[in-house]
Amino acid sequence: MSEIRTADAMPVRRDDPDDVVARLEEDIIFGRLPPGARLTEDALMSRYGTSRHFVRQALVDAERRGIVRREKNVGATVRFYSPGEVGQIYEVREMLTRQAALMIPLPAPKDLIDELAALQRQYCARADAQDLRGIHEANDAFHLALFSACGNPYLVRSLQDYMNLTLPMRAKNLADRDGLAQSRRQHDMMIELMKGRDSWALAQLCVDHMQFSKKDYLVRIAGEAEGAN
């Protein structure tokens, strides 16, 4: 199990709880803190230049979102998902995604198409600027706008919960050049399909869209396990 290093710490505003939470989440989901890494309060205080109170608050929030595990006599670690858990989590997320996509009335109204196109432009702009946090936020905004069109807020909430649960598995992929290029192309294809009537094609594309990050995470944890041996 690895310890976090402070040498690559990114400065944040001192004693700003929102920034501490955001930075911890960003470091985890973009792979700066790998699965299984120990998260000691002292190291995090040094990394983020903040107080123990705000570090603890950040750890509680990260645990609630499922990206940190806290255990008695062990402490906090970056959540590690086994290959079996990854498969089970994505199985549920794929079912929710497919159902939400199939429920979207097609062709979609022009205002929704315009909203998605605007969010895609923001996503591409953040990608061109290599703004990792901005990429992540614009990507989630795009998908939430898309799936909210299904008309069932309870389904959308469940889907959002699983999007959050898979953050450590999928967000690092947004920093990968090939993965990001594929994601951008598939977003454009989703917008085009929203203009037509083929709900099954849209649903399948939405499911296919998440496979790259799933496979990438499985390769990463397999490589880390091999390196540990």
- In 3D space, the residue among 25, 184, 174, 179 whose CA is nearest the CA of residue 119 turns out to be 184
Q: Is the pLDDT at 212 greater than 90, yes or no? A: no
Give the residue, 92 or 1, on which the prediction is more confident.
92
Query: Is residue 15 very low, low, confident or very high in pLDDT (cuts 50, 70, 90)?
Result: low
pTM of this structure: 0.79
DSSP structure class, residue 173 = G
Q: Which ranges in the chain are annotated with CATH 1.20.120.530?
A: 83-228
CB 42 within 8 A of CB 3: no
Cα separation, 141 vs 122, whole angstroms: 10
The owner of tokens 């979102």 is 65
Model pLDDT for residues 153-190, shown as the tens digit of each residue: 999 999 999 988 887 777 666 667 888 889 999 999 99
Q: What does the angle CA 73 – CA 35 – CA 187 come to, to the nearest 5 degrees?
A: 140
Cα separation, 192 vs 217, whole angstroms: 29
Q: Which fold has domain 17-78?
A: Arc Repressor Mutant, subunit A (1.10.10)
Q: Which ranges in the chain are annotated with CATH 1.10.10.10?
A: 17-78
Q: Which CATH superfamily is domain 83-228 in?
A: GntR ligand-binding domain-like (1.20.120.530)
User: What's the confidence (pLDDT) of residue 107?
Assistant: 98
DSSP structure class, residue 41 = H
